[in-house]
Structure 1
Amino acid sequence: MQDDEFSLFKTQMHGVKPIKHDRADTGKPKADRSRIATLREAATQRVESTKVDGLSDQFVIDVGAEDELHWSRDGVQEGQMRKLKLGQVSFEGSLDLHGMTVEKARDTLWEFLAEAARLEVRCVRVTHGKSARMDGKRPLIKSHVNTWLRQHPQVLGFCSCLPKHGGTGAIYLLLKRTMLDGRDE
């Protein structure tokens, strides 16, 4: 009986070539550290002019990875901001800026806010991330988003999200609704 199983096995293995190496292919190539360093350096390059969108990089408020963000325009009710911080204002849209350069993040954010204003959206979530950089400096996109949103005319206020929505790596953003002028301010 054993000979029959062995011959059956040999028949089934006919034409199969043995593997020449004993290492498994994990499918994930090792990170190219020099390429990553180049990309990070390119992401930190600043353009010394104010863009047409009005979001200036002349002064960026540096924030830490775990710092909670909180800001509101004059006239926005404290109760509304408290509800936002507690996640009681449901967000109707979400944007993820992870892995983008500063310029790409700015353009994407500007377009997203323009679309939200067009659709009369009241609250959105923006995920900026919070990863500390290899050079030991503070999170780049998080710091820029914190600065830009204070300059955007549609933004009434923002605060860091609840942990289930991204914690200090994301913010809830309260937006002005143009059709309902007078109600939001």
Structure 2
Amino acid sequence: MTQRRQPTPEDLAAFRAAVDGAVPLRVPERVAFEPPKPSPRPRQRELDEAAAVTESLYGPFEIDDLLAIGDADSYLRTGLPRNVLRDLRRGRWSIQNHTDLHGLNRHEAHEEVSRFLAESHSSGKRCLRIVHGRGHGSPGREGILRQLVKSWLARRKDVLAFCHAPPCDGGEGALWVLLKADFRG
């Protein structure tokens, strides 16, 4: 470690001559505030959650999912009285809006169902018809959209109930859907 030497009188005189006439800087009256840095975002978790949502909407169905909804001809949200479904089946509500999914693949159909439900709900329409077809054009002549639409509807909180339409309104190839009322003041 080197030792510091003391300034000599000549050094001090040279320094004073160099700074002679200098005016000290004003001390600012403001406090310099630096906002806190944002906390780190769990990007991987967000990506994983987005992937899980995409998989649940578009991914292949597990056998348990198909058995849960599968060939069930109706659905009623838990906690609602059975007469809600009975009244829907009997046509108590008139159909206020409808969409037809013929010719759409499952991704296009999901987008159409989501758009249709959101549009219907926002315009105050509660009783809807979704025509998904019977699946005669599908490989194996099985109604893929039929099962998918039921599953999508059962996952939505704004859907109270659904059932197959009567034969005159599409029968096994269409669903009647009852949406939750939107009580906006």
TM-score (norm 2): 0.62
Q: CA deviation at 1:131?
A: 2.2
- CA deviation string 1:9-47 (max 9, x = no partner): xxxxxxxxxxxxxxxxxxxxxxxxxxxxxxxxxxxxxxx
Deviation at 1:180, TM superposition (A): 6.3
Task: Tell me the matched-pair count.
Answer: 131
Aligned to 1:90: 94
CA deviation after TM superposition for structure 1 residue 88, in Å: 2.2
State whether structure 2 residue 61 is matched by structure 1 residue 50: no
- In the alignment, which of 94, 104, 108 is matched to residue 104 of structure 1? 108
Structure 1 residues 50 and 90, CA gap change in structure 2 (3 angstroms): same
Number of the residue aligned with 2:126 = 122
Gaps of 5+ in 2: 1-50
Identity %, equivalent residues: 31
Alignment-mate amino acid for residue 73 of structure 2: L
Letter in 1 for 2:111: D
Q: How does 1:74-89 map to 2 (within 5 A)?
A: 74-89=78-93
- Any gaps of 5 or more consecutive residues in structure 1? 1-47
The letter for the 1-side match of 2:98 is S
- Cα-Cα RMSD: 2.7
Q: Is the 8 A contact 1:92 1:123 kept in 2?
A: yes
Larger displacement relative to structure 2 (94-103 or 55-64): 55-64
Runs of 4+ in 1 over 4 A off after TM superposition: none
> C-alpha separation between the residues in 1 aligned to 2:58 and 2:76?
18
1:115, CA displacement in angstroms?
0.5
**TM-score between the two structures when normalised by the length of structure 1:** 0.62
Match of 1:172, SS state, is: strand
Larger Rg: 2
